[in-house]
A and B are shown apart, each in its own frame.
Chain A
């Protein structure tokens, strides 16, 4: 599980706060969505969990241990990460990309190979067919499948995702969303996912934290946010998918 205690982040010595006094608990096996507009501090919050960013104050615990006391590189190897820009290594084969973290952890070659095949199978890219390809030979959706496989390869309990499906076309996106949700459930992963797409958050997350200007306005299950918004901004963005659905329905009736 993940716990943020009074975490603050400032890039200018405290004059302005990118993330202000945030406390969040994510239970084991829970899927937390972090949502908000660009610049609201959601990505900074995510990156502080594996120390890609350092908090200015506060504590962050992953599985009960304060991350600030740990070697950042070893910490990151034990936390899966799916990147917004996918970030596959273009000079490595698909298999080498998937095996990157086990390789850093110096697993036995046989074990790496087996795990690599397993993870690729899991994301629907059979090793025999795709393992030796170069990332540039894959479609965007396939590349992010590799990204997911890479994040899962070292069997992390915690996976962080930074707008992982943002760059994909709608059909591929919803396919991957569903598949990933299935993987998360079956592997009992603790996931924190940053998104600005409320529909995505509602469909995937067990709970959603709505952020604005560095402050978490409300944390709750989709049901709680929909039925008991405690802030106008929360009401607005939660209502958005529903309004759009309604509008679509009207359009189709008019035809």
Chain B
């Protein structure tokens, strides 16, 4: 536990910096865009209605969808930029709305007086309306700030570093310490930045008062210190970082976290500087390796076959391999080779339940399916494999539930569902003593894990040499055990990596 905590805390500076930079950049841009928009809207009803409608609609979009859309609009670009744009869009509503409300609430008699003494519209705005509206505008900025700090955790999914790295990795690898550290850090940052803005506002309000109390001085000192620290962190973040030679990425589940770490370790041993991008969305990471933003990741043949090639049939393991390699070549993605293990879908049941019902293969399920409930990960029921399974066996379950993968196993173990769409290398299959059902009609696809590389990386012989150690060296059993260490035994991802590494070199 304490070793785990220490490991997590070592990551804190990098995640904190990423989160802070992202939040501050988005809020700054949000203010720069939203305050002028609010001023414009307050002056013209024709602008106000549609503008408030648009920013409200943006706000009602699920935040993950906004992130995904921005990535798509940027042509699959991942990292800081899409996260920054999405968070900026999200910060706009409270700032625009409060700017409009604040300006509207300035007393009409004060505005008339300003006109009457000969202020120009611009002077009225700058010297009277904006200063008087400022407390309301700042309240809007504070709301936006708190939202943005929270939402920034999601930017992990598009490859930007944030406290979300803790949270997503933690959820997927059942590391509650990581989840807790990430959540607390995010909350503390939100409270801290909110307090900082409140303190700055308070100081600005008091600046004209001659009194110089001890409290005022101490708050001023704290604010200056906080600002100085933030400026240092921002400047440090803006310094040209030693560029990584290669970027290794992965999707958000345990096996991928392990494989990213393993690949990075091998590359680092060969003397390369490696940057890890953990927990990216499936589409995001494939797009990224195609356009060269990511250099290396582990993908599965079945995923390419069904999701990218949109193939409906199942011609068998070897045919899929060949088809996928051809397809990838046309996409400008290089297949360096197969790792040796296969992580495919399989229907799984608790052993006692399977024996009770007398089920060993999907065939046996057919007469019973109408009375059974099935759990799956978020995508399974949307995949062509499920449709093929349903059609080939001509069956459907009475109840279909979707879960986060880590919760799906708990659901079947606790009997909330009768069967699940398990992954064959998942450590929990063995740990929970689940039975993987035979698939005699070949409905489910093969999912051979393979190393995909960007054109640029694959052109580097030393790179190819460095990751060659992984090709065909990891068995289903070894991978399942590595996954089990993390998912079941509560070991760290590093422990799983250390478990696999010696096996790459033994016979």
Residues of A within 8 A of B (CB): 50, 52, 72-78, 81, 83-91, 93, 100-101, 104, 132, 150
Given A93-B208, A104-B123: A87 in contact with B112 (beta carbons within 8 A): yes
Closest 6 CB pairs of A and B: A87-B113, A85-B109, A77-B118, A76-B118, A81-B116, A87-B109
In the bound assembly, the distance between CA atoms of A73 and B115 in angstroms comes to 8
| Minimum Cβ distance to chain A for residue B120 (Å) | 5
Contacts of B113 in A (CB 8 A): 81, 83, 85-89
CB-based contact B123/A76 at 8 Å: no
In the bound assembly, the distance between CA atoms of A101 and B117 in angstroms comes to 6
Contacts of B208 in A (CB 8 A): 93
Considering residues A52, A101, A104, which has the most beta carbons from chain B within 10 angstroms of its beta carbon? A104
CB-based contact B117/A91 at 8 Å: no
Q: With an 8 A cutoff between CB atoms, is B114 at the interface?
A: yes
Residues of B within 8 A of A (CB): 107-110, 112-120, 123, 128, 131-132, 208, 210
In the bound assembly, the distance between CA atoms of A67 and B130 in angstroms comes to 30
Contacts of A87 in B (CB 8 A): 109-110, 112-114, 116
| Minimum Cβ distance to chain A for residue B360 (Å) | 80
CB-based contact A101/B118 at 8 Å: yes
Contacts of B131 in A (CB 8 A): 91
Select B116's contact among A52, A78, A89, A90, beta carbons within 8 Å. A52
In the bound assembly, the distance between CA atoms of A104 and B208 in angstroms comes to 20
CB-based contact A86/B109 at 8 Å: yes
CB-based contact B112/A104 at 8 Å: no
CB-based contact A90/B109 at 8 Å: no
CB-based contact A73/B109 at 8 Å: no
In the bound assembly, the distance between CA atoms of A90 and B210 in angstroms comes to 17
Select B119's contact among A73, A83, A88, beta carbons within 8 Å. A73
Contacts of A150 in B (CB 8 A): 117
| Minimum Cβ distance to chain A for residue B38 (Å) | 19
CB-based contact A74/B128 at 8 Å: no
In the bound assembly, the distance between CA atoms of A73 and B118 in angstroms comes to 4
Chain A residue, CB-CB nearest to B205: A91
Contacts of B123 in A (CB 8 A): 104
| Minimum Cβ distance to chain A for residue B132 (Å) | 6
Contacts of B112 in A (CB 8 A): 52, 83, 85, 87
CB-based contact A73/B120 at 8 Å: yes
In the bound assembly, the distance between CA atoms of A52 and B116 in angstroms comes to 7
CB-based contact B116/A104 at 8 Å: no
Given A85-B109, A89-B128, A90-B132: A76 in contact with B116 (beta carbons within 8 A): yes
Q: A76-B117, A85-B112, A104-B117 are in contact. List 17 more A-B contacts (CB 8 A).
A: A73-B119, A74-B118, A75-B118, A76-B116, A81-B116, A81-B117, A83-B112, A85-B108, A86-B113, A87-B109, A87-B114, A88-B110, A88-B113, A89-B114, A90-B107, A93-B208, A104-B119
In the bound assembly, the distance between CA atoms of A84 and B132 in angstroms comes to 20
In the bound assembly, the distance between CA atoms of A73 and B120 in angstroms comes to 6
In the bound assembly, the distance between CA atoms of A87 and B117 in angstroms comes to 10
In the bound assembly, the distance between CA atoms of A74 and B119 in angstroms comes to 9
CB-based contact B116/A50 at 8 Å: yes
Select B115's contact among A76, A84, A86, A100, beta carbons within 8 Å. A76
Chain B residue, CB-CB nearest to A83: B113
Chain A residue, CB-CB nearest to B121: A73
In the bound assembly, the distance between CA atoms of A75 and B120 in angstroms comes to 11
Select A89's contact among B110, B115, B118, B210, beta carbons within 8 Å. B110
